[in-house]
Chains A and B, each alone.
Chain A
Amino acid sequence: MQTKLQATPAPEARSAHRPGVVLSGVQRRFTAGRRREPVVALHGLDLAVEGEEVLGVVGPSGCGKSTLLELVAGLQEPDAGEVCVGGATADRRAACSYMPQRDLLLPWRDALGNAAIALECQGVGRREARRRAAPLFERFGLAQFERARPSELSGGMRQRVAFLRTLLPGRPVLALDEPFAALDAITRTGMQQWLADALASEPRTVVLVTHDIEEALFLADRVVVLSPRPGRVVAELDVPGERPRDRRAAVTDPELARLRELALEALG
Chain B
Amino acid sequence: MRRVALVTLLLGALLGAWAWVSSLESVDDLLVASPGETARALAQDWDLLWSNALVTLREVLIGLAIAVVGGAGAAVAMHLSRVLREAAYPLLVASQAIPIVVLAPIFVLAFDYGIGPKVAIVALICFFPVTVNVLDGLRSVAPEQLTLMRSLGASRLRTLASVELPAALPAFFSGLRIAATVSVIGAVFGEWAGADDGLGRLVLLGNDQLQTPRVYAGVAILTAMAVALFCLASLAERLACPWNRDERPA
Contact = CB atoms under 8 A, between A and B. Distances in A.
Interface of A: 70, 73-75, 93-94, 96-98, 100-102, 104, 106-108, 117-118, 120-122, 149, 151-152, 165, 169
A8 B158 CA distance: 29
Contacts of A106: 162-163, 166
Contacts, number: 58
B247 A169 contact: no
Interface of B: 142, 144-145, 147-155, 158, 162-163, 166, 169, 241, 243-244, 246-247
A109 to B, nearest CB: 8
B147 A100 contact: yes
A97 B152 CA distance: 7
A104 B153 contact: no
B147 A75 contact: yes
What's the dominant secondary structure at chain B's contact region? Answer: helix
A104 B142 contact: yes
Contacts of B151: 73-75, 93, 96-98
Given A93-B153, A97-B151, A106-B162, 19 more contacts: A74-B151, A75-B147, A93-B150, A93-B151, A96-B151, A98-B151, A100-B147, A102-B142, A104-B145, A104-B148, A107-B243, A108-B241, A118-B152, A120-B158, A120-B162, A122-B153, A151-B243, A151-B247, A165-B152
Nearest to B245: A151
Contacts of B147: 70, 75, 98, 100
Contacts of B150: 75, 93
Given A108-B241, A108-B243, A121 B144 contact: no
Query: Closest 5 CB pairs between A and B?
Result: A98-B151, A121-B154, A121-B152, A107-B243, A108-B243
B149 A107 contact: no
A94 B144 contact: no
16 contacts: A94-B153, A97-B151, A98-B151, A104-B145, A106-B163, A106-B166, A107-B243, A108-B241, A108-B243, A118-B152, A121-B152, A121-B154, A121-B155, A122-B153, A152-B246, A169-B153
A151 B166 CA distance: 16
A97 B243 CA distance: 28
A156 to B, nearest CB: 19
A24 B145 CA distance: 29
Given A97-B151, A122-B153, A104 B241 contact: no
A152 B169 CA distance: 21
A104 B144 contact: yes
Most buried by B among A74, A96, A108: A108
Contacts of B148: 98, 100, 104
